[in-house]
Copies of this chain bind each other. A is one copy, B any other.
Amino acid sequence: MTAGTMTAGTRSWWGWGYEEQAIDDDELRRLAGRLAERFGTEVTIVDAPTLDALDLRAPRVAPPDSIADWCSTSMDDRAGHTYGKSYRDLVRAVHGDLPNPPDVVAFPRSEADVVDVLDWCAAEGLAAIPYGAGSSVVGGVECAVGDAFAGAVTIDLGALDQVVEVDRISRAARIQAGALGPALEAQLRPHGLTLRHFPQSFELSTLGGWLATRSGGHYATVYTHIDDFVESMRVVTPSGISESRRLPGSGAGPSPDRLFLGSEGSLGIITEAWMRLQDRPRWRASAGVVFSNFADAVAATRAIAQSALFPTNCRLLDGVEAATAAGVTGTAGLLVLGFESADHPVEQAMARAVELCRDHGGDVPGGVTSSDASDSSSSRPSDDAVGSWRSAFLRAPYQRNAFARCGVIAETFETACTWDAFDALHAGVTSAVGEAIERICGGGWVTCRFTHVYPDGPAPYFTVTAPGRIGSELAMWDEIKAAASDALLAHGGTITHHHAVGRDHDAWYRRQRPEMFGQALTAAKAALDPAGILNPGVIV
């Protein structure tokens, strides 16, 4: 009954991903060596944690017989569901620091089971923690709920993983919330359809998790957030089930779905949704544009964002990220551009985007790569800057497991701001975090990329890498994170563009959220979850 048995590989109980794909010991030693050289310090490798060594608190409650069949109190399941996959989570797991495991992990097999487990939680005063695949990087699935609850039950939706119904005409499907990215795509493929929502966590995150956290996906422009792909949703709340009508658009009152999108399990448990789909793309074009000046790269990216050309990919990497993530050195900025279409060739749009880049001093050393999937002589490029970036992108979460074992502070944070605010935000965040890591870690670096862009502003994504002291990493990171978060808010950013709020961002979220909206949400929660059992401490 573990999540691991439902997939092709064995899930790591403590870190990102499948054990079969983990970075091996040789690679880990090489990585540690490179980092030691770069930091000018020693880097020690800590053993990977083992379940046997854990001294997990005994379950404080037992599920009633009526639901016991699909509930687990095993150490494996409880340890594996204790944390998400943030740097804080990895470090705590590496050190066996799991003071708040769930008492029970429930694996409902149907919506009725979800109702039953919530009823049990409400009756017994247990915290109910909705869980998709546990890829939260913001403390969104933790059971640190305090003594007000008699226990904590994690509700793992993984068994609800079916595409239930497909409407080929409207290009939509009814999909259960627990479907992992690859499982969902595999079920859509026979219909020639795709959701094309590829967050970095794609392999091990679920539709329900994406919806609950307003995940940011594949599309750099237009349809960035999963929100925009929702036709309707079903949500189980302790007060009853909410189901919205399948509609392409509506102006009938405030959007019901938008209340649950981003509610992070605090208002209800999403069990399924009708999602808007895409035809599988046939034409593609990609290009890597280099700039000798970061400000020019930003200006070019803004011009494209405001052009209504709507590139699928429009990811600007600063000079350091260009080198480390795409192997392109000697540049101040690398703009990874991509267009795709199932309906028409995209060369003309790409040509105009490249022209806009050239107007701002950009250069395209590798030229534009185009492909037509129906033409067997054309194939997708994999050995250029764009391909390198893609591989590094998908491998990055595995590398973070390794960093956690090396005492290296390695974490990301992200935001969005208007274009007029970006220069000051970038300078302010870089300087605040730079000062913090210098003071706290004695070195390290912070880099920036845009993951998504809007006509009125980019979504900057920062990566911090710094030497930590084993045993003190969390305190060190918490201080860096506070400096970063304060700087984000001070410069007009949001505390999160697509990583969500969870427990880690709560203090800044409350500063950012309009007080009146907070009061409205609190009242809405009291109506839907009168006992306050759903993901306590998150959002509301």
With a cutoff of 8 Å between Cβ atoms, the chain B residues found around residue A498 in the complex are 251
Instruction: Output the nearest chain B residue to A494 by Cβ-Cβ distance.
Output: B250
Segment of A42-50, A63-71, A326-334, A524-532 in the binding face = A524-532
Tell me whether A248 and B514 are in contact (CB under 8 A): no
A343 touches B258 (CB 8 A): no
- Whether B352 pairs with A514 at a CB distance below 8 angstroms is no
Using an 8 Å CB-CB cutoff, how does the interface string of A410-436 with B read, 1 for contact, 0 for none? 000000111111000000000000000
| B contact residues around A527 at 8 Å (CB) | 519-520, 522-523
Q: Mark A481-525, 1 if CB is under 8 A from B, else 0.
A: 000000000001111111111000100010011111101111110
The reply to whether B253 and A263 form a contact with Cβ atoms under 8 Å apart is: yes
Task: For the complex, give the distance between the alpha carbons of A500 and B252 in Å.
Answer: 6
A406 interfacial contact with B, CB 8 Å: no
A268-B516 in contact (CB<8A): yes
- Verify A169–B251 contact, CB threshold 8 A: no
Measured CA separation A421–B239 after assembly (Å): 31
A344 CB-CB contact with B under 8 Å: yes
- Any chain B CB within 8 A of the CB of A178? no
**Complex interface bits, A302-328 against B, C-beta within 8 A gives 1, otherwise 0:** 100011111000000000000000000
| Chain B residues positioned under 8 Å from A260 (CB to CB) | 254
Contact A240 B528 (CB under 8 A): no
Which candidate, A90-98, A115-123, A141-149, A449-457, is the interface stretch facing chain B? A449-457
Set of chain B residues within 8 Å of A516, measured between Cβ atoms: 235, 237, 239-242, 268, 528
Question: Chain B contacts of A493 at CB under 8 A?
Answer: 247
State in angstroms the CA–CA spacing of A242 and B512 once bound together: 11
How far apart are the CA atoms of A348 and B260 in the complex, in Å? 40
A172 at interface, CB cutoff 8 A:
yes
Q: A213-B251, A240-B515, A309-B344 are in contact. List 10 more A-B contacts (CB 8 A).
A: A172-B418, A225-B249, A242-B514, A245-B494, A250-B497, A251-B497, A252-B495, A252-B509, A254-B261, A254-B263
Interface residues of A (CB under 8 A from B): 167, 169-172, 213-216, 222, 224-225, 231, 235, 237, 239-256, 258-264, 267-268, 276, 279, 302, 306-310, 341-344, 348, 352, 356, 416-421, 452, 454-459, 492-501, 505, 509, 512-517, 519-524, 526-528, 539
